Chain A
């Protein structure tokens, strides 16, 4: 088992190197540079400009800049944000809990609705529940996130007034120091009446928006995995044993179908991080997605590079965990191989 984990971790190293390169290149492919943004529309004289470029190390050739960047990374230095002059690491981890909270709720919603919907569709294959689930899934999958988010805000926030439009908490009525960074938990710890409900109401719409695509993917994958598994001999054996239908479907078939579904759920984490960028922007959610968008707009190279890197590592770690879970779910993987 340890060997298995070490192997996986070793494999992460080349991926990591690739990501540093990609992160480095992508931000520099954007038109404009930090100095242009910093100095504003009117600009500064060329000498001052050259000095500023030199100060940021941007006058060096790209390969040198890259080596310098990687060299600092190896020492654990992710650089300072050009906008705030605070370490990228600090900035990132200050905002990470907000995104994690959102992503966690979103994936929970996606699993809680997607898996049962997929099972239902598979069991009622070719009949109206199947068509309904698959139709909704296709719609959800095809929907642009920002548009979907705006629609929901129009209906539930501005229209019906059920949910707040943006933010994480009703800050007029509540204030407490962050402890964990997870608003729901902090609200609970604060002991203020109604704070948890307020946090949850703020969380509801963004997490529904963020969960839409993963939910659609999970529903479709669950359906096809279940269809495959329901035709297996051991399902027939389970019926031959006289087990009730729900037990055959939810225990014997689902356990096997989950092997593929868990892999898909792991892959959705990446989708979720991408979706967080848009969702956080729409709902003014102070997480890393929104921070990254702002960093990109400011051409804040160190922040964008650091953010991309951290997100990539996060996705890789989640996938590693999924790999380990896989062994737990599938006994055939557990023994060696």
Chain B
């Protein structure tokens, strides 16, 4: 049994202009000890889907899901009390902005201790020991001193370490990291990622890593889920994804990586923007930005296709087994990229 199983998760927000579909039909499953990366541009619904898992969305959100199992336990319609036991207990989450994610009015020690007290309980002394141990575990130097430090006295990297310590307080089985390194210095980014992976391996945790950095994906994940405009457009093992991307969007993302870009003056980009609430295309959501889109793409929504060997994608192209890269030469895409840049 997998640790996490999500089938057809959809999230919509009530706005003044009607319902905004932020996440549509996301499926995923994750095993213990596995790292799953979710990639996509801003606004692709990566964070929203994970916040939905954690039950952290505002009341204006409507969540629909066929199946949502964590460790065999149904998360749908969970009573608030049971939900609180899970949050910070079995599943924990760390966020993009470590500085603002910590409460400025309380010490680091107090905030980590809250998680320990809520889920493990125990006497004051034992809890303090646990917090100091956690601080040491995440590589914060001089834990007894940092215990009494306020968030504003810590750097971004240290704050994220403290957030990780808080998330690990009750030995969660699933850790969701929402762009944990985006707000940090480049040098610190690598350290934090390394720390996350080390802890994940030591504790055999399932780790969901939300990112828009393909480099991070390549280094860390076993499986990758590509999201676009709230839809899942591709899902496969990391190796396959980099060697043989199945969806034009994935390919375009990879082509935009400097280290993979064909030599030339311009780095390929994807022209246009992610569709918003009011300009959603009728057919494939990516069609307006896709270098390969044909008449069918404009009018008809593509269905999810899945190979028995695992990879799946949402596109009218590439059918059959094994999948053949039948896209036109990347030149077409590259051209599109240049136009996009001049726009």
**Bound pair (A, B):** yes
CB-based contact A241/B87 at 8 Å = yes
Which of chain B's residues have a CB closer than 8 A to the CB of A259?
Answer: 105
Task: Determine if A95 is an interface residue (Cβ-Cβ < 8 Å).
Answer: no
In the bound assembly, the distance between CA atoms of A236 and B96 in angstroms comes to 12
Q: Is B280 an interface residue (CB 8 A)?
A: no
Residues of A within 8 A of B85 (CB): 242
Residues A335 and B88 in contact, CB atoms below 8 Å apart: no
> Does residue B233 face the partner (Cβ distance < 8 Å to A)?
no
User: Given known contacts A242-B85, A242-B119, A331-B150, is B163 in contact with A237 (CB within 8 Å)?
Assistant: yes
- Closest Cβ–Cβ distance, residue B86 to chain A (whole Å): 7
Q: Mark A230-257, 1 if CB is under 8 A from B, else 0.
A: 0011101111111111000000100110
A100 within 8 A of B: no
Q: Is A329 an interface residue (CB 8 A)?
A: yes
Q: Is B101 within 8 A of A241, CB to CB?
A: no
The verdict on A331 contacting B56 (CB below 8 Å), with A241-B87, A242-B85 known, is: no
Q: Is B164 an interface residue (CB 8 A)?
A: no
Which residues of chain B from 85 to 126 have a CB within 8 Å of any chain A CB?
85-89, 92-93, 95, 97, 100-106, 114-115, 118-119
Given contacts A242-B119, A331-B150, A335-B153, contact A237 B101 (CB under 8 A): yes
Please give me the residue from chain B that is nearest to A252 by CB atom: B103
Count of interface residues, chain A, beta-carbon cutoff 8 Å: 22
- The distance in angstroms between the C-alpha atoms of A75 and B318, with both chains bound, is 96
* Chain A neighbourhood of B114, CB < 8 A: 238, 241, 243
B84 at interface (Cβ–Cβ under 8 A)?
A: yes
Q: Contact check, B88 vs A331: say whether CB atoms are below 8 A apart.
A: no
User: How many Å lie between the Cα of A61 and that of B95 in the bound state?
Assistant: 71
A204-240 contacts to B, CB under 8 A, are: 232-234, 236-240
22 contacts between A and B (CB under 8 A): A232-B100, A234-B102, A237-B101, A237-B102, A239-B56, A240-B54, A240-B93, A241-B118, A241-B166, A242-B84, A242-B87, A242-B89, A242-B119, A243-B84, A244-B84, A245-B80, A252-B106, A256-B105, A259-B105, A330-B105, A331-B152, A335-B153
Query: Chain A residues in contact with chain B, CB under 8 A?
Result: 232-234, 236-245, 252, 255-256, 259, 329-332, 335
Q: Give the interface of B toward A (CB within 8 A).
A: 54-56, 80, 83-89, 92-93, 95, 97, 100-106, 114-115, 118-119, 150, 152-153, 163, 166, 169
